[in-house]
Structure 1
Amino acid sequence: MEVIQTAGRDSLGTFASEFVHLNDDILFGEVWSREEKLSLRDRSLVTVVSLMSQGSADNSLKFHLNEAKKNGITKDEIAEIITHAAFYAGWPKAWATFNLAKEVWSE
């Protein structure tokens, strides 16, 4: 399944055309589409933990939490993932991620 992403084009248009290409076509179009290497579910898990560990409690983390939900990660699983990662990424980062995850899994 090919992942189609237009966030770069929608947000930046031609302002940063190379960045848009790398984001929409390479990262999402090619890398996220390599399901024979790693499932979308697993890519979502890795991405959420990576963003959490960086302290990204913004729209990008919320977007990827929504994608994780779409890709089959359950409420119980995301709670366990965040709890586990809290010991490695940091307690405050876990709290911030839990706040966003609670919104996503309440929808």
Structure 2
Amino acid sequence: MKKQTAGRNNLGEFAPQFAALNDDTLFGEVWSREDALSAHDRSMITVASLMTQGVPQLEDHLKMAKQNGVTKDEIVEIITHLAFYTGWPKAWSAFNMAKEIFND
């Protein structure tokens, strides 16, 4: 997995400790433990969690999921399944994002 720098790039000067925790701890330590859980599986879990919350970070994590080998069919199944638990409008929003990302 490539080194994450989004925290420092976006918040480094404003919130340096948060940026360091994002880049070094969350992505540097937790996401890199592929012997415990693959990046593919972490992406599917993260996409599911973000979809339930309806937060804008879902788009970036859908892109990351694709890079981590999550397929269009897997994303479609995740969103369809969660539509019944998290809400139809969130599913529509997630599908619109996923359609752009996975149909290129």
TM-score interval (norm. to shorter): over 0.9
In the alignment, which residue of structure 1 is the partner of 2:32? 33
Runs of 4+ in 1 over 2 A off after TM superposition: none
Could you give the per-residue CA deviations for residues 29-75 of structure 1, whole angstroms, max 9, x where no partner exists?
0000000111000000000010000011x2x2111001111111111
CA contact (8 A) 1:3 1:29 kept: no
| CA-atom RMSD in angstroms | 1.1
In the alignment, which residue of structure 2 is the partner of 1:6? 5
- Relative contact order, higher structure (CA 8 A, sep 6+): 1
The one-letter code sitting in structure 2 at the alignment partner of 1:89 is T
In the TM superposition, residue 98 of structure 1 has moved relative to its aligned partner by 0.3
| Ranges in structure 2 where 5+ consecutive residues have no aligned partner | none
Q: Percent identity?
A: 63
Moved more, 95-104 or 69-78: 69-78
When residues 3 and 28 of structure 1 are mapped into structure 2, their CA distance, relative to the original with a 3 A threshold, is farther
In the TM superposition, residue 3 of structure 1 has moved relative to its aligned partner by 4.5
**TM-score normalised to the size of structure 2?**
0.94
Task: Note if 1:64 corresponds to 2:64.
Answer: no
Count how many residue pairs are aligned between Structure 1 and Structure 2: 104
In the alignment, which residue of structure 2 is the partner of 1:45? 44
**TM-score normalised to the size of structure 1?**
0.92
